[in-house]
Structure 1
Amino acid sequence: MGEGNRSEEEAQISNKHGGWITFPFVIGTFACMTLATGGWLSNLIVYLIKEYNINSIDATLISNIVSGCLCVFPVVGAVLADSFFGSFFVILISTSISLLAMVSLTLTATIHSLRPQPCDHNNTSITCSSSPSKLQYTILYSTIILACLGSGGSRFTTATFGANQYDTTKDQNIFFNWFFVTLYAGFVASSTAIVYIQDNVSWGWGFGISLAANVISLAIFLLGNRFYRLDKPEGSPFTSLARVLVATARKRLAQMQVGSDEGCYYYSDQDHRVGMPIVDGVTLTKSFRCLNRAALITRGDIHLDGTIAKPWRLCKVQEVEDFKTLLKIFPLWSTSIFLSVPIAIQGSLTVLQALTMDRHLGPNFKIPAGSFAVIIFISTTISLTLVDRFLYPIWKKLIGRMPRPLERIGLGHVFNFLSMVVSALGESKRLKIAHVHHLQDQAEAIVPISALWLFPQLVLVGMGEAFHFPGQVGLYYQEFPTSLRSTATAMISLVIAVAYYLSTGLIDLLHKVTKWLPDDINQGRVDNVYWMIFVIGVINFGYYLVCARCYKYQNVEDGGKNINDSITEH
């Protein structure tokens, strides 16, 4: 009787909480956090160079590592939310950590003793030798780590938390649309307005605005507390994946004792059968056959009622097949890493190029170097609209179906290495002008060429993202089992993180081994870097074509309709 009353009370609480009344609180929280994050991330390279006297290449390496952390920590946040604390507390803790970081970052910009002595950037004949002290480095890096933890831990957890407030798929899709619109709008606003204030007013005011946005974010989130529907931790899908590996290793001799095709495999608590039948649509396949041992029942693995007695020794067939799905898609996932590496390198080097170019628009306005990434956001947004409304409908009329995820990703590859070609040609032109004016002998000299020459390469990057990013989302969403949909999002985040780390290593290697990336890029050959990553991109595209050719879709159609169609419609 007591249990029945409790379930009725829980149902009533669930009905009272959640829904569209939570929308302004969740979106408001996310919008302010995005503004706060973009406010310090977009101009980090310039801040390190101008205020901490860190040389340009080292500043680039730090920025790439930070960007990688911002892609890893969302995965950590999602695991903690699913497994232990729930989304609400992860968002609350992460936002509070971010607030602490914003306070510290604002202090570094306003208290002179927390920074090294400034260099005279107007005197090009003097080399700056004032480096940060150990204490200043410690405070700076601790602040950046806290900022990464706070921003990364809350970013995609907020998306999950917001979607959980709605009962229908339609409402959840509407929320996700607004979520991504807010993400882009927040970064555009922070990369323009806040960066402009940092460059033209003061760093203290710029970081102060980010701090204020973080305070408002935390306040909005807490104000909506009485309306939220709180999710309970249900365990991370990564745990079941680890269990498959452990169970396979512990039963490495089991197949030899029983026989590879005649063992008794565990399907569910109510139904485990001999052989390899189809139970509830699940088939124990012969691919990656050694993993089947994880579902092989041996003495003491199950209780009399059919439940698993030793979770780290026996797995369900569904869990084994889910793990196989990851292995099958891993080659395609790996191609996405070298698709993102050139974008990460180009994003960092573009800031360094912009710092050495004429960034004036008219006599009174100067484009901040950290704002050039906005061109990618704008290009992606416009391209997404044109592709969705014009290109894909034409494709469907000509071929009879919407383009599949692998075809979209392939087009993204092409635009990606084309942007590297344009980047190399543009940098060659910049260096030629620098040499004509003998500026390679002057430290931090401004080359008399408009920074608008950087726009074409950034536009092509945005066009490529309009193809390959939705293509990756569609591929993982379509091919991953339902139980691993959250893992699909994590896969995309991990791709970007690994790409940033690899780009950091590649830039550091080129800086040490070649003369292409000196501290003053006017003395280097950044164009050779672009040509090199163009070659890498072409080779990776060939590897991608082989992987795509060998891959077989597992869920091409859904009720006679292409899943890509339904994703596009939403």
Structure 2
Amino acid sequence: MAITVFKGDDMSDSETPLLNDDVVPGSVDFKCRPSVRSKSGSWKSASLLIGVEIAERFWYSGISSNLIGYLTGALGQSTAAAAANLNVWFGTATLSPIVGAFVADSFLGRYWTIIFSSLLYIMGLGFLTISASLNLSSYSDCKSAGIDAPCSPPPFQKIFFFFSLYLIAIVVGGHTPCMQSFGADQFDVEDKKECVAKSSFFNWWVMLSCSGSLLGYLIMNYIQENLSWELGFGIPCIVMCFSLIIFLLGTKTYRFPINNDERRNPFVRISRIIMRAARSCRLPFIAPISNEQEVERNLPLRCIGDNEEVNLVFRLAPIWFTSLGYAVVFAQPTTLFTKQAATVDRHISSTIQIPAATFQSFIVGSIVVFIPFYDRIFVPIARAITKKPSGISMLQRIGTGIFLSLVSIVVAALVEKKRLAVAAENGMVDMPNAIVPMSVWWLVPQYMISGIADVFTMAGLQEFFYDQVPSALKATGIALYISVLGIGNFLSSFLIFLVEKATRGNGRDGWFADNLNRAHLDYFYWLLAGISAFSFAAYVYYAKSYIYIRGLTV
């Protein structure tokens, strides 16, 4: 049986018959006509969206990676205050996708949410550029007055800076979950080839977006430290403008999932879910299985309603909670790892010194190098052994990453202990601005192990939360993954606050003293290692009992 598609709005135009196998079920093009498989979606659309993501990661990483340097320099904040402020900001940026995903899934759709959030992105970056210019004027006034210490700008400039920063954090919520879920929407899971391609999509999404981050670290950090912060914020604004243009150019190739009438009315949908959740007394977080059953088991394909949607989302909670140990460790490279790197020798020649924030590029560099190995070598070998299409299950992949994350923070603690010993041996304990005669390359292993951990955990969490929620909540699924990182940043900020209160006072230097040679970041890293170990043990316990849901439809 053929499906007839009319060209244009005039029914008198010529008709083009399409065979069923050339039409993608459940999706339409930008004119609400059935999507043609050969002309839309799959890698032709996903590749364009990945390109937009590379541009977005370029500016986001280029700014966020060095913000602690801006806060402790241009804004004159202490190390503890700057680290806490950044953790709250990162937490906001990674929790806002929950709201953005709700707006996308219930009101605007992913396409329009991406467009509106991109426009607000550009506005926020423009404001940030203006605030940097104002702060530079204040900094110059301090220097002309002979003030060598960090100079705090007037309150209005601080308020304007943080307003700009938090505007960006909020609009991240609309852009990040929608871009990735919209990219995954371009693959038809009912087609065997496209189903396999979708699994690889998450790997390549992480790798190539990290390539954008790598460029941001290498280029933007250099510009910020050697040229100006106005350029450091202004260039990302221009890049974001180009990324929006690229996204719009691909409109004709995109596939748009078909929504039914109830999904177009979010109030009906949400009210039903809330009412059923309120009166439900049996929300199965984990479905128990007997010892005779397989650990990984797929429930059959079936249609589900709103009452089961609640259960399906809530049963993900233990995996979400037990991944928080990884998320707390994930928060350290952009804050404490960077301050740690700033105290050691970073010269690669007598005249060239690498910015401390640039060493975060070893994280994304290891991701970029390891993902092709994982996708092209590790997965085929594991597939031959386990007979699973993905080689190892999503939960096994996440668990491996959580364990490697634990290893990375243990290595960081050992390296920091070594750094403190070198400072003491050279009489630099009371020299806060002195460079410890220890090569920064000592810190590279902790960055690289963190990157390899991300290959397993980040891509695994993305695929897991996208795959295990109903089709109407795919953006929400991605937001759930991002919210893990957001809560991890808030927990890190809270831990820093508690530790600072507990260890500082009565003439004592706390673990986060501004003079890092008298501080004890190593003790804090050991604390995080203990939290991560407990989280990993709890994760293994719950993951062993999880039953996968396949083929969700609503």
Q: Does 1:214 align with 2:237?
A: no
Equivalent residues of 1:53, 1:116 under 8 A apart:
no
Q: Is the 8 A contact 1:344 1:500 kept in 2?
A: yes
- CA distance in structure 1 between the aligned counterparts of 2:148 and 2:238, rounded to whole angstroms: 37
The percentage of aligned residue pairs carrying the same residue is: 29
Amino acid at match of 2:423: A
Shift of 1:491: 1.6
Give the counterpart of 2:317 among 330, 334, 342. Answer: 330
**Which among 471, 486, 493 is matched to residue 497 of structure 1?**
486
The worse-fitting range, judged by mean Cα deviation, of 485-494 and 107-116 is: 107-116
- Going from structure 1 to structure 2, the CA distance change for 1:383 and 1:102 (only over 3 Å counts) comes to same
- Pair 78,29 (structure 1): closer, same or farther in 2 beyond 3 Å: same
Choose which of 359, 371, 374 in structure 1 pairs with 2:358.
Answer: 371
Q: Is 1:137–2:126 an aligned residue pair? A: no
In 2, Cα distance between the equivalents of 1:351 and 1:238? Answer: 45
TM-fit CA distance, 1:330:
1.2
- How far the C-alpha of 1:485 sits from its partner, in A, is 3.6
What TM-score results when the alignment is normalised by the length of structure 1? 0.76
Q: Which amino acid aligns with 2:58?
A: L
Cα distance change on mapping 1:114 and 1:90 into 2, 3 Å: farther
2:525 is equivalent to residue 538 of structure 1 = no
For the residue of structure 1 that corresponds to 2:429, the secondary structure is helix
Change (3 A) 1:238 1:34: farther
Give distance in 1, aligned partners of 2:55 and 2:33: 27
Paired residues of 1:359 and 1:366 also in contact (CA < 8 A): yes
The 1:40/1:118 distance shift into structure 2, 3 A limit, reads farther
**Out of 441, 457, 460, which is 1:452 matched to?**
441
Partner in structure 1 of residue 348 of structure 2: 361
1:426-471 Cα deviation digits (max 9, x unpaired): 0001011111222221233221111111110111112222222233
The equivalent residue for 2:272 is 243
Q: Are the aligned partners of 2:101 and 2:178 in contact in 1 as well (CA < 8 Å)?
A: yes
> Structure 2 regions of 5+ residues with no counterpart?
1-5, 14-27, 283-298, 504-509
1:505: how far off? 0.8
Partner residue of 1:183? 209
Of 25, 33, 56, the match for 1:14: 33
Contact 1:423 1:527 in 2 (8 A): yes
**Residue 295 of structure 2: aligned partner:** none
Deviation track 1:536-564 (CA, whole Å, cap 9, x = no partner) reads: 11122222222223x242448x8xxxx9x
SS in 2 for 1:130: coil
- Structure scoring higher RCO (CA < 8 A, sep ≥ 6) equals 2
Aligned to 1:304: none
Matches within 5 A, 1:392-431: 392-401=379-388, 402-431=391-420
Partner of 1:266 in structure 2? none
Q: Measure the CA separation in 2 of the matches of 1:323 and 1:84.
A: 19
Cα contact 1:98–1:149 (8 A) shared by 2:
no
Aligned to 1:351: 338
The separation in 1 between residues aligned to 2:431 and 2:367, in whole angstroms, is 37
C-alpha spacing 1:393/1:517, structure 2 compared with 1 (3 Å): same
8 Å CA contact retained: 1:81, 1:90:
yes
Deviation at 1:516, TM superposition (A): 0.9
After TM superposition, the structure 1 stretch with the greater mean CA deviation from structure 2, 484-493 or 419-428, is 484-493
For residue 32 of structure 1, the aligned residue among 55, 63, 72 is 55
Structure 2 distance, partners of 1:371, 1:432, is: 25
1:148 aligns with 2:169: yes
Secondary structure of the residue aligned to 2:517 is helix
Is the counterpart of residue 67 in structure 1 residue 90 in structure 2? yes
Aligned to 2:23: none
Give yes or no for contact 2:124–2:167 (8 Å, CA) kept in 1: yes
Q: In the TM superposition, what are the counterparts of 1:415-494 in structure 2 within 5 Å? A: 415-494=404-483
Distance, in Å, in 2 between the alignment partners of 1:150 and 1:440 is 43
**C-alpha deviations, 1:119-173, integer Å up to 9, x for none?**
77xx9xx983632322111111111012223444223323344555677865683
SS at match of 1:521: coil
Q: 1:474 to 1:13 in 2, by over 3 A?
A: closer
Decide whether the 8 Å contact of 2:48 with 2:250 is kept in 1. Answer: yes
Q: What is the identity, as a one-letter code, of the residue corresponding to 2:512?
A: L
1:44 partnered with 2:33: no
Corresponding position of 1:296: none
Check whether the contact 2:181–2:474 (CA below 8 A) recurs between aligned residues. no
Instruction: Say if 1:322 and 1:484, in contact at 8 Å, map to a contact too.
Output: no
Measured at CA, do residues 242 and 410 of structure 1 come closer, stay the same or move farther in structure 2, by a change above 3 Å?
farther
1:193 aligned onto 2:219? yes
Paired residue secondary structure (2:418): helix
Task: Give the whole-Å Cα distance in 1 for the aligned partners of 2:518 and 2:455.
Answer: 35
Query: What's 1:521 paired with?
Result: 516
Structure 2 letter corresponding to 1:534 = A
Q: Residue by residue, what CA displacement relative to the aligned partner does 1:272-330 show, whole Å, maximum 9, x if unpaired? A: xxxxxx99846xxxxxxxxxxxxxxxxxxxxxxxxxxxxxxxxxx73222322333331
Does the C-alpha gap of structure 1 residues 84 and 427 become closer, same or farther in structure 2, counting only changes over 3 Å?
A: same
Q: 1:248 to 1:84 in 2, by over 3 A?
A: closer
User: Which among 495, 499, 502 is matched to residue 506 of structure 1?
Assistant: 495
Amino acid of the residue matched to residue 81 of structure 2? D
CA shift, 1:386, in A, is 2.8
Report the Cα distance in structure 2 between the residues aligned to 1:423 and 1:114, rounded to whole angstroms.
38
Go from structure 1 to structure 2 and tell me whether the alpha carbon gap of 1:407 and 1:356 turns closer, same or farther (over 3 Å shift).
same
Deviations 1:448-500 (A, max 9, x none): 11111111011111222222223333443454444444332222111111111
Instruction: Give secondary structure in 2 for the equivalent of 1:522.
Output: coil
What TM-score comes out, normalization by structure 2 length? Answer: 0.78
Q: Deviations over 1:191-230 (max 9, x none)?
A: 1111111111222222221122123234444556677677
Q: Which amino acid aligns with 2:437?
A: P
Match of 2:547, SS state, is: coil
- SS state at 1:448 partner: strand
Largest Rg, 1 or 2? 1
1:340 paired with 2:327, answer yes
Cα distance in 2 between the residues matched to 1:251 and 1:51: 53
Rounded Cα–Cα distance in structure 2 between residues aligned with 1:236 and 1:6: 26
Alpha-carbon distance, 1:349 to partner: 0.8
Q: What is the CA–CA distance in structure 1 between the aligned matches of 2:321 and 2:78, rounded to whole Å?
A: 32
1:117 shift after superposition: 5.8
Whether the 8 Å contact between 1:237 and 1:483 is mirrored in structure 2 is no
CA gap of 1:114–1:217, structure 2 versus 1, over 3 A, is farther
Matched, 1:81 2:107: no
AA at the equivalent of 1:441: D
Q: How does 1:248-327 map to 2 (within 5 A)?
A: 249=278, 281=302, 318-327=305-314
For 1:376-387, list aligned pairs within 5 A.
Answer: 376-387=363-374
Segment drifting more, 161-170 vs 103-112 = 161-170
SS in 1 for 2:513: coil
- Cα contact 2:208–2:368 (8 A) shared by 1: no
Shift in CA distance, 251/6, structure 1 to aligned 2, threshold 3 Å: farther
- Structure 2 SS opposite 1:449: strand
1:421 Cα deviation from its structure 2 partner: 1.4
Distance 1:164 1:42, change over 3 A: same
Q: Retained in 2: the 8 A contact 1:351–1:369?
A: yes
* Corresponding letter in the other structure for 1:318: G
What is the SS of the residue equivalent to 2:437? strand
Count of matched residue pairs: 492
Q: Which moved more, 1:74-83 or 1:111-120?
A: 111-120
Aligned-pair distance for 1:241?
A: 6.3
When residues 420 and 229 of structure 1 are mapped into structure 2, their CA distance, relative to the original with a 3 A threshold, is: closer
